[in-house]
């Protein structure tokens, strides 16, 4: 029995290695997915990874890539699933948290977007994207004063940022008054 265990172990390693795709297949899949992404073919970029999912499903980079592609394709629920898995694999990484903060807004879950942005800001208070997503979230939650403070602070560090300049304009513009038909004295 003692001799059988090492043989079975060796056999399982050899069979697993033969059944799993090699580094070249994985590299090719990533290259193809980036090419397809640049062409706006997000669904096709996702399909490239289907045969590799059993091998890659527990890897951080794979989950982050899938989340990004699903978010580009507009499938925010699947993006959340992959960003969440990536954040579980590397809990200290900002990337999946920022992705979650970004995709929770179109899912109409601003409180979850806020939580993820704040997790990043606890460690990096000047993080550009965490502040941007938090300001957008606060705007969605009708917390304009809090959003204004973030935008003002970040414009100090990024004075030409188009994103923060647009938010600043939205936050400082007065809402347009509803147009009422003018009634002339002659029409009475």
Q: Are 78 and 107 in contact (CB under 8 A)?
A: no
Q: Where along the chain do its domains lie? A: 28-172
28-172 to CATH, choices 1.25.40.10, 3.90.226.10, 1.10.3720.10, 1.20.1260.10: 1.25.40.10
DSSP letter for 174, please: P
Tokens for 106, please give them: 């179109």
Q: Is 82 exposed, middle or buried (0-12, 13-18, 19+ CB in 10 A)?
A: buried
Mean pLDDT is lowest, of 48-52, 73-77, 122-126, 184-188, for 184-188
Q: Please give the model's pTM, rounded to 2 decimal places.
A: 0.79
Q: Are 121 and 134 in contact (CB under 8 A)?
A: yes
Per residue in 82-113, pLDDT (tens digit) is 999 999 999 999 999 999 999 999 999 999 99
Q: Could you tell me the pLDDT band of residue 120, with boundaries at 50, 70 and 90?
A: very high
């Amino acid at each position: 029995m003692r001799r059988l265990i090492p043989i079975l172990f060796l056999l399982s390693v050899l069979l697993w290695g033969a059944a799993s795709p090699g580094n070249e297949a994985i590299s090719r899949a990533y290259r193809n997915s980036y090419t397809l992404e640049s062409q706006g073919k997000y669904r096709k970029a996702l399909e490239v990874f289907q045969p590799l999912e059993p091998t890659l499903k527990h890897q951080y980079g794979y989950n982050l890539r899938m989340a990004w592609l699903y978010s580009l394709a507009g499938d925010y629920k699947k993006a959340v699933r992959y960003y969440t898995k990536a954040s579980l694999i590397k809990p200290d990484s900002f990337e999946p948290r920022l992705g979650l903060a970004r995709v929770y807004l179109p899912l109409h879950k601003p409180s979850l977007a806020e939580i993820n942005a704040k997790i990043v800001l606890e460690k990096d208070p000047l993080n550009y994207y965490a502040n941007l997503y938090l300001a957008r979230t606060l705007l969605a939650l009708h917390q304009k004063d809090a959003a204004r403070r973030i935008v003002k602070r970040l414009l100090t560090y990024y004075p030409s940022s188009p994103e923060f300049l647009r938010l600043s304009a939205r936050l400082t513009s007065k809402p347009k008054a509803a147009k009422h038909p003018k009634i002339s004295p002659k029409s009475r």
